[in-house]
């Protein structure tokens, strides 16, 4: 057990869910600290029936903290994590800053729990779109070794933060009323629209979000031979990312075999009855920690392909839940020593 834990970015959308999960899952600790920017410092948070003062994120606050879970922008993570590790505090980081550092394990507990062994004070949680995809890939990779993945994402506005959700709600209201609206998070209207760009232009016509899915997937599986072709699209959905995924394996896997593999995998829930109109949809998956899979079928264009539809709450399994599960993994691994 960690005696003293902290949530960094405790007042944000993901920080709020981390707080809920720690309470619901009865995570073991003796003392908890809530940290945020100077703007939020001094406010109070209700946690486990008690009021807690939010403290400002400064180096000295980590002097007596054993474990921190951070959900902050990359520049904040770049600065505060060295403060913490220099003081022997282990950090689980939700930002993108440390993910591809070769010394930092990138972990989805259901996929590569062994990666936490030998960590050097930082454990990274993947990008939300990567997390649900690699969880879905895991049983297929174990059974037939994945050669190639083609994925198109349908990413909710919550992935762009509170401003993204506000853009969807207020932009839609304005569009319905024939009014103008000044978008905050998006360069184009999201109301009644799709935006086929998430992140900046990065490599060979791919965006930064798309290249994250390539590099993070290969790192998590420890296999650079897995080819990933992603297209990331922002859609007018408030929460939960959806993905259309096609995997090509070395060994043929039938649709029925894939369905059984998915159903037997912790963290995955199969909803797959096309005739009855049953398949995962964002409105049904919000607030759930599972990754939902449906529309499972064999690829008509190659002999060893499986296509499926995947939906997950990007604020939960895509962010907060995965971080808390890493913390629980650390507790279990310490208990086993």
Which residues does the annotation mark as catalytic?
A: 128, 241
Neighbours of 269 (CB within 10 A): 18
H or E element at residue 213: helix 208-221
Output the DSSP codes for 56-116: E--GGGGGG-SEEEE---HHHHHHHHHHHHTTT-EEEE-SSSSTT-TTS-B--TTT-GGGG
Q: What tokens appear for 257 in the block?
A: 């075999």
Show the beta-strand stretches assigned E in the chain: 4-8, 31-36, 44-47, 50-53, 55-56, 67-70, 90-93, 122-124, 146-155, 201-203, 206-207, 227-234, 241-249, 268-270, 291-298, 305-312
d(CA 334, CA 337) in angstroms, rounded, equals: 5
């Amino acid at each position: 057990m960690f005696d003293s834990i902290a949530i960094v970015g405790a007042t944000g959308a993901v920080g709020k869910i981390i707080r809920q999960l720690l309470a619901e899952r009865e995570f073991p600790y003796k003392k908890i600290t809530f940290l945020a920017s100077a703007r939020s410092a001094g406010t109070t948070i209700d946690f486990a029936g008690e009021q807690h003062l939010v403290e400002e994120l400064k180096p000295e606050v980590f002097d007596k903290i054993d474990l921190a879970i951070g959900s902050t922008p990359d520049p904040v993570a770049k600065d505060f994590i060295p403060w913490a590790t220099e003081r022997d505090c282990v950090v689980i980081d939700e930002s993108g800053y440390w993910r591809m550092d070769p010394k930092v394990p990138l972990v989805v507990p259901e996929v590569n729990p062994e990666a936490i062994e030998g960590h050097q004070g930082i454990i990274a949680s993947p990008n939300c779109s990567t997390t649900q995809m690699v969880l879905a890939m895991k049983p297929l990779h174990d059974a037939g070794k994945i050669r190639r993945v083609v994925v198109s994402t349908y990413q909710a506005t919550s992935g762009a933060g509170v401003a993204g959700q506000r853009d969807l709600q207020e932009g839609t209201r304005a569009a319905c009323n024939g009014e103008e609206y000044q978008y905050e998070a998006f360069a184009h209207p999201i109301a009644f629209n799709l935006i086929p760009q998430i992140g900046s232009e990065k490599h060979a016509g791919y965006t930064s979000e798309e290249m994250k899915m390539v590099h993070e997937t290969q790192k998590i599986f420890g296999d650079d031979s897995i080819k990933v072709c992603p297209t990331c699209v922002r859609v007018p959905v408030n929460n939960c990312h959806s993905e259309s995924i096609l995997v090509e394996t070395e060994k043929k896997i039938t649709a029925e075999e894939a369905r059984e593999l998915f159903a037997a995998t912790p963290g995955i829930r199969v909803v797959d009855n096309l005739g009855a109109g049953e398949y995962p949809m964002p409105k049904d998956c919000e607030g759930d920690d599972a990754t939902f899979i449906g529309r499972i079928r064999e690829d008509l264009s190659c002999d060893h392909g499986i296509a499926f539809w995947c939906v997950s709450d990007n604020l939960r399994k895509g962010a907060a839940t995965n971080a808390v599960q890493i913390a629980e993994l650390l507790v279990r691994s310490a208990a086993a020593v």
